[in-house]
């Protein structure tokens, strides 16, 4: 399992709920983060305290819990997850899922999510065999829900047959399979992100205000779709996402080399805010004040990573995507930039201070492809990233 995978684990009220504790432990041993959600009935079988202690985080139980909602809204809970796992999934929860009923936190999350869902059914054999449950199961499978188990064996109720929840290790394997599949499975994508630092001397540098948020969100979204991502990052404010191969660099020249070293790749996305110039006469020692004389810096042009990759004659990635952060004439400048650099797509945005985009959590972009511009509404950088990742998956399919 990819370290840092984020599982939203919904525990519903069946006797097998006690096995969810072992499942949490196994997942955490493998480096996953588990956010637990319990239905009211689950609380009859395991205590929130044991679940929270094993998960190492808060248990979410109540749809109308104002404190929890203020910390992380219930919609946000599923957004952060790579996969939603329902273990145990009772006949009742399966029935609600199949019908789209949302009358508590767990079922509301299940209806509000666009993430993949894996269920581990657990119930009495007659309930499992009942036509209603089998109908619901068929509907859930048709809806794309993944299913592990149930297995056959002695049941807590004294009967024998199918209905026992799969063992925690089988569920871990099913989670592994689910996480490593996705439309970008087998695709290698290089993402550049963050600012670059161009030294003036050993203690000073020229930088820019890029936080690295959009590149990081994009890399995470690509990983979530199954891509193998090499993340070439300058000194960003936000940490690299989980599940990527990180290449830390400082300067534009280092970023170009790290990007080229990461090739061949199916796609390269240049989200970094690369400094256009470096200081040609950077000092090897700290520059000292020279009386009243001001220092003079000579600049040299930095290599353009996006243009270099776009114009490769041998082994060019099938898709090269750039960003164009502009403050005026956004479409004209971005369209010209796409042509000048030779990339396939440009994601253009207006970063004028009044938009609040630079350093903020939202973005509003226009995707410019060979077919022309396509404006996307304002949304969070995470949502923009997921939409772009989905488009990349379509293009590489």
350 Cβ contact partners less than 8 Å away, ≥ 6 residues apart: 326, 327, 330, 357, 364
Per the CB < 8 A criterion, the answer to whether 344 and 319 are in contact is yes
270 binds ligand CTP (CB under 6 A): yes
- State the minimum distance, in angstroms, from the CB of residue 346 to ligand CTP: 8
Distance CA 48, CA 171 (A): 21
Total binding residues for ligand CTP by CB under 6 A?
Answer: 15
Structure tokens at 134: 């089998």
210 binds ligand CTP (CB under 6 A): no
- State the minimum distance, in angstroms, from the CB of residue 322 to ligand CTP: 3
Residues in 305-334 at the binding interface with ligand CTP, rule: CB under 6 A: 305-306, 322-325
222 binds ligand CTP (CB under 6 A): no
Contact pattern from residue 92 through residue 111 relative to ligand CTP, giving x for each residue in contact according to CB under 6 A and a dash for the rest: --------------------
* Nearest to ligand CTP of 128, 345 (CB atom): 345
Question: Count of CB atoms within 10 A of residue 185's CB?
Answer: 12
- State the minimum distance, in angstroms, from the CB of residue 200 to ligand CTP: 18
- State the minimum distance, in angstroms, from the CB of residue 371 to ligand CTP: 19
- State the minimum distance, in angstroms, from the CB of residue 305 to ligand CTP: 3
- Any catalytic annotation for residue 157? yes
- Give the strands of the sheet with 6-11, arranged side by side: 33-38, 6-11, 83-89, 117-121, 146-147
Distance CA 61, CA 69 (A): 11
Question: What's phi and psi for 309, nearest 5 deg?
Answer: -70, -40
Per the CB < 8 A criterion, the answer to whether 34 and 57 are in contact is yes
- Tokens 């525990």 appear where? 11
345 binds ligand CTP (CB under 6 A): no
* Nearest to ligand CTP of 113, 260 (CB atom): 260
Contact pattern from residue 290 through residue 309 relative to ligand CTP, giving x for each residue in contact according to CB under 6 A and a dash for the rest: ------------x-xxx---
**Binding-site member from 252, 279, 358, 365 for ligand CTP (CB under 6 A):** 252
Whole-angstrom CA distances from 377 to 290, 362, 363, 383 are 53, 10, 9, 10
Judge if the upstream peptide bond of residue 328 is cis by omega within 30 degrees of 0: no
272 binds ligand CTP (CB under 6 A): yes
Would you tell me which residues interact with ligand CTP (CB under 6 A)? Answer: 192, 252, 270, 272, 274, 276, 302, 304-306, 322-325, 337
Positions marked catalytic: 157
């Amino acid at each position: 399992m990819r370290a840092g995978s984020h599982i939203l684990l919904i525990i519903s009220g069946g006797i097998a709920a006690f096995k969810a504790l072992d499942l949490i432990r196994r997942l955490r041993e493998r480096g996953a983060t588990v956010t637990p959600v319990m239905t009211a009935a689950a609380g009859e079988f395991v205590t929130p305290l044991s679940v929270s202690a094993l998960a190492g985080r808060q248990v979410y139980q109540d749809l109308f819990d104002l404190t929890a909602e203020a910390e992380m809204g219930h919609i946000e809970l599923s957004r952060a997850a790579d996969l939603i796992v329902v273990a145990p999934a009772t006949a009742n929860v399966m029935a609600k899922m199949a019908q789209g009923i949302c009358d508590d936190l767990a079922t509301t999350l299940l209806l509000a999510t666009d993430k993949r869902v894996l269920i581990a059914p657990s119930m009495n054999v007659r309930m499992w065999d009942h036509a209603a449950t089998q109908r619901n199961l068929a509907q859930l499978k048709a809806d794309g829900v993944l299913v592990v188990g149930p297995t056959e064996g002695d049941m807590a109720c004294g009967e024998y047959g199918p209905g026992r929840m799969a063992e925690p290790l089988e569920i871990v394997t099913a989670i592994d399979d689910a996480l490593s599949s996705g439309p970008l499975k087998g695709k290698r994508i290089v993402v550049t992100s963050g600012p670059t630092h161009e030294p003036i001397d050993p203690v000073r540098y020229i930088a820019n205000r890029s936080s690295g948020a959009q590149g990081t969100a994009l890399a995470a979204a690509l990983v979530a779709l199954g891509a193998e991502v090499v993340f070439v990052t300058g000194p960003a404010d936000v940490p690299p996402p989980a599940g990527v191969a990180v290449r830390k660099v400082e300067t534009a020249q280092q970023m170009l080399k790290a990007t080229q070293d990461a090739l061949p790749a199916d796609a390269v996305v240049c989200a970094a805010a690369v400094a256009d110039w470096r200081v040609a006469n950077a000092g090897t020692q700290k520059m000292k004040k020279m009386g009243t004389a001001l220092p003079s810096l000579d600049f040299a042009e930095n290599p353009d990573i996006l243009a270099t990759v776009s114009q490769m004659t041998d082994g060019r990635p099938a898709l090269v995507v750039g960003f164009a952060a502009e403050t005026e004439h956004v479409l004209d400048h971005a369209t010209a930039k796409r042509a000048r650099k030779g990339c396939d797509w440009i994601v253009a945005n207006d970063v004028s201070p009044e938009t609040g985009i630079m350093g903020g959590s939202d973005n509003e972009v226009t995707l410019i492809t060979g077919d022309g511009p396509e404006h996307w509404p304002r949304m969070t950088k995470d949502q923009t990233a997921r939409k772009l990742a989905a488009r990349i998956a379509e293009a590489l399919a």
